[in-house]
Protein backbone atom coordinates (compact mmCIF):
# COMPACT_ATOMS: atom_id res chain seq x y z
CA UNK A 1 0.00 0.00 0.00
CA UNK A 2 1.03 3.60 -0.50
CA UNK A 3 1.46 5.79 2.57
CA UNK A 4 1.95 9.51 2.99
CA UNK A 5 5.60 10.26 3.73
CA UNK A 6 4.51 12.64 6.47
CA UNK A 7 3.58 9.59 8.55
CA UNK A 8 7.28 8.67 8.62
CA UNK A 9 8.68 12.11 9.40
CA UNK A 10 9.14 12.99 13.10
CA UNK A 11 8.52 16.43 14.52
CA UNK A 12 12.14 17.05 15.45
CA UNK A 13 15.66 15.90 14.73
CA UNK A 14 17.37 13.55 17.16
CA UNK A 15 19.45 14.84 20.07
CA UNK A 16 22.98 15.72 19.06
CA UNK A 17 26.16 16.94 20.71
CA UNK A 18 27.80 20.22 19.85
CA UNK A 19 30.87 20.18 17.63
CA UNK A 20 34.34 20.40 19.15
CA UNK A 21 34.43 24.06 18.22
CA UNK A 22 31.12 24.68 19.97
CA UNK A 23 32.03 22.60 23.02
CA UNK A 24 31.92 18.81 22.79
CA UNK A 25 30.24 18.23 26.14
CA UNK A 26 27.28 20.49 25.43
CA UNK A 27 24.17 18.76 24.10
CA UNK A 28 22.26 20.51 21.35
CA UNK A 29 18.50 20.75 21.50
CA UNK A 30 16.64 18.96 18.70
CA UNK A 31 15.52 21.21 15.86
CA UNK A 32 11.87 21.37 14.84
CA UNK A 33 11.31 19.98 11.36
CA UNK A 34 9.16 21.89 8.88
CA UNK A 35 7.42 20.09 6.02
CA UNK A 36 6.18 21.72 2.82
CA UNK A 37 4.62 19.44 0.20
CA UNK A 38 3.41 19.63 -3.35
CA UNK A 39 1.76 16.92 -5.42
CA UNK A 40 4.92 14.85 -5.86
CA UNK A 41 7.40 15.60 -3.10
CA UNK A 42 7.97 17.20 0.27
CA UNK A 43 10.72 19.49 1.45
CA UNK A 44 11.79 18.78 5.02
CA UNK A 45 13.91 21.45 6.67
CA UNK A 46 15.10 23.17 9.82
CA UNK A 47 16.86 26.46 10.41
CA UNK A 48 19.68 27.07 12.87
CA UNK A 49 21.40 30.24 13.98
CA UNK A 50 25.15 30.24 13.45
CA UNK A 51 27.30 32.46 15.66
CA UNK A 52 30.80 32.49 14.14
CA UNK A 53 32.05 35.20 16.49
CA UNK A 54 30.68 37.02 19.51
CA UNK A 55 28.17 39.65 18.48
CA UNK A 56 27.40 38.26 14.99
CA UNK A 57 25.09 35.56 13.72
CA UNK A 58 23.30 34.32 10.62
CA UNK A 59 20.58 31.79 9.83
CA UNK A 60 21.31 28.60 7.95
CA UNK A 61 18.63 26.27 6.62
CA UNK A 62 19.21 22.54 6.17
CA UNK A 63 16.79 20.71 3.92
CA UNK A 64 16.16 17.48 2.01
CA UNK A 65 13.54 16.46 -0.50
CA UNK A 66 11.54 13.26 -0.09
CA UNK A 67 8.80 11.64 -2.21
CA UNK A 68 5.23 12.55 -1.25
CA UNK A 69 4.21 8.90 -0.96
CA UNK A 70 5.99 5.57 -0.79
CA UNK A 71 5.10 1.94 -1.28
CA UNK A 72 4.94 0.50 2.24
CA UNK A 73 5.11 -3.26 1.81
CA UNK A 74 6.83 -6.35 3.21
CA UNK A 75 10.02 -5.59 1.28
CA UNK A 76 10.21 -2.13 2.81
CA UNK A 77 9.61 -3.61 6.26
CA UNK A 78 12.34 -6.19 5.64
CA UNK A 79 14.77 -3.39 4.77
CA UNK A 80 13.93 -1.56 7.98
CA UNK A 81 14.46 -4.72 10.03
CA UNK A 82 17.76 -5.37 8.25
CA UNK A 83 18.84 -1.85 9.14
CA UNK A 84 17.76 -2.25 12.77
CA UNK A 85 19.84 -5.44 13.03
CA UNK A 86 22.90 -4.44 11.00
CA UNK A 87 22.91 -0.65 10.72
CA UNK A 88 24.11 2.22 12.86
CA UNK A 89 21.75 3.42 15.55
CA UNK A 90 21.18 7.10 14.66
CA UNK A 91 20.69 7.92 18.33
CA UNK A 92 24.19 6.64 19.09
CA UNK A 93 25.73 8.15 15.96
CA UNK A 94 25.34 11.74 17.18
CA UNK A 95 21.89 11.89 15.62
CA UNK A 96 23.33 12.46 12.19
CA UNK A 97 25.02 9.36 10.74
CA UNK A 98 23.26 6.63 8.78
CA UNK A 99 25.32 3.58 7.95
CA UNK A 100 25.33 -0.18 7.47
CA UNK A 101 28.16 -2.68 7.18
CA UNK A 102 27.77 -6.23 5.84
CA UNK A 103 29.45 -8.88 3.74
CA UNK A 104 26.13 -10.08 2.25
CA UNK A 105 25.40 -7.82 -0.72
CA UNK A 106 21.69 -8.70 -0.55
CA UNK A 107 21.28 -7.12 2.88
CA UNK A 108 23.04 -3.95 1.76
CA UNK A 109 21.12 -3.89 -1.53
CA UNK A 110 17.66 -4.15 -0.01
CA UNK A 111 18.43 -1.25 2.34
CA UNK A 112 19.75 0.86 -0.54
CA UNK A 113 16.73 -0.01 -2.73
CA UNK A 114 14.03 0.53 -0.15
CA UNK A 115 15.50 3.57 1.59
CA UNK A 116 15.54 5.25 -1.79
CA UNK A 117 11.78 5.47 -1.29
CA UNK A 118 12.54 7.80 1.63
CA UNK A 119 14.61 10.09 -0.55
CA UNK A 120 18.07 8.60 0.13
CA UNK A 121 19.27 8.45 -3.45
CA UNK A 122 21.67 5.60 -4.14
CA UNK A 123 24.22 7.86 -5.82
CA UNK A 124 24.54 9.88 -2.60
CA UNK A 125 25.84 6.99 -0.49
CA UNK A 126 29.53 6.83 0.38
CA UNK A 127 30.76 3.24 0.11
CA UNK A 128 33.90 1.92 1.77
CA UNK A 129 35.01 -1.67 1.32
CA UNK A 130 36.82 -3.76 3.92
CA UNK A 131 39.24 -6.04 2.10
CA UNK A 132 41.99 -8.54 2.92
CA UNK A 133 45.60 -8.20 1.84
CA UNK A 134 46.60 -10.89 -0.62
CA UNK A 135 43.01 -11.98 -1.27
CA UNK A 136 41.32 -9.01 -2.92
CA UNK A 137 42.00 -6.64 -5.77
CA UNK A 138 40.64 -3.16 -4.99
CA UNK A 139 39.39 -2.27 -8.47
CA UNK A 140 37.81 -5.68 -9.10
CA UNK A 141 35.97 -5.68 -5.78
CA UNK A 142 34.74 -2.11 -6.24
CA UNK A 143 33.35 -3.08 -9.65
CA UNK A 144 31.71 -6.20 -8.16
CA UNK A 145 30.02 -4.30 -5.33
CA UNK A 146 29.06 -1.43 -7.64
CA UNK A 147 27.27 -3.87 -9.94
CA UNK A 148 25.55 -5.74 -7.10
CA UNK A 149 24.41 -2.61 -5.25
CA UNK A 150 23.76 -0.56 -8.40
CA UNK A 151 25.71 2.28 -6.84
CA UNK A 152 28.01 4.31 -9.13
CA UNK A 153 31.69 3.40 -9.00
CA UNK A 154 32.64 6.97 -8.11
CA UNK A 155 30.75 6.63 -4.79
CA UNK A 156 33.41 4.18 -3.56
CA UNK A 157 36.15 5.59 -1.36
CA UNK A 158 39.54 4.17 -0.42
CA UNK A 159 39.05 0.71 1.18
CA UNK A 160 40.16 -0.42 4.61
CA UNK A 161 42.66 -3.27 4.45
CA UNK A 162 42.98 -6.12 6.93
CA UNK A 163 45.29 -9.07 7.42
CA UNK A 164 42.80 -11.86 6.89
CA UNK A 165 42.81 -15.54 7.68
CA UNK A 166 41.77 -18.30 5.30
CA UNK A 167 38.51 -18.68 7.21
CA UNK A 168 37.63 -15.02 6.94
CA UNK A 169 38.58 -14.86 3.27
CA UNK A 170 36.34 -17.83 2.49
CA UNK A 171 33.48 -16.41 4.57
CA UNK A 172 33.82 -12.95 2.98
CA UNK A 173 34.94 -13.74 -0.60
CA UNK A 174 34.32 -10.12 -1.65
CA UNK A 175 35.09 -8.49 1.67
CA UNK A 176 32.54 -6.26 3.34
CA UNK A 177 30.83 -3.08 2.20
CA UNK A 178 29.93 -0.13 4.38
CA UNK A 179 27.41 2.38 3.10
CA UNK A 180 27.21 5.68 4.94
CA UNK A 181 25.98 9.25 4.74
CA UNK A 182 25.42 12.07 7.19
CA UNK A 183 22.16 13.99 7.56
CA UNK A 184 20.39 15.02 10.73
CA UNK A 185 17.06 15.03 8.87
CA UNK A 186 17.43 11.62 7.25
CA UNK A 187 18.79 10.15 10.51
CA UNK A 188 15.62 11.29 12.28
CA UNK A 189 13.43 9.91 9.47
CA UNK A 190 15.21 6.53 9.49
CA UNK A 191 14.95 6.25 13.27
CA UNK A 192 11.24 7.18 13.21
CA UNK A 193 10.56 4.81 10.30
CA UNK A 194 12.22 1.86 12.01
CA UNK A 195 10.18 2.50 15.14
CA UNK A 196 6.98 2.55 13.05
CA UNK A 197 7.87 -0.73 11.34
CA UNK A 198 8.54 -2.41 14.68
CA UNK A 199 5.24 -1.07 16.04
CA UNK A 200 3.32 -2.30 12.97
CA UNK A 201 4.88 -5.76 13.20
CA UNK A 202 4.81 -6.24 16.96
CA UNK A 203 2.15 -3.82 18.11
CA UNK A 204 4.48 -2.24 20.70
Cα–Cα distance for residue pair 133/141, rounded to 1 Å? 13
Model confidence over 70-89: pLDDT tens digits? Answer: 999 999 999 999 999 999 99
- 51-64 pLDDT, tens digit each: 767 777 788 899 99
Q: Which pLDDT does position 20 carry in this prediction?
A: 56
Kindly tell me the sign of the dihedral angle through the C-alpha atoms of 135, 139, 140, 142. Answer: positive
pLDDT of residue 193: 97
pTM for the full predicted model? 0.89
pLDDT at position 21, please?
57
Report, as ranges of residue numbers, the positions in the chain whose pLDDT lies below 70.
Answer: 18-27, 52, 165-170, 204
**pLDDT at residue 58, as a whole number:** 81
Amino acid sequence: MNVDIQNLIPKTTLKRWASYKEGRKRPKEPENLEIVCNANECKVSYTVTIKPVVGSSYARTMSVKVPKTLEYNSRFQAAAIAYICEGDDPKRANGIRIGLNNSDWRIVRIVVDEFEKLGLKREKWNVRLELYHGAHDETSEKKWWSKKLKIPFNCFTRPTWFEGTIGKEEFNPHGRARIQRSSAIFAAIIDHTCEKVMHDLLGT
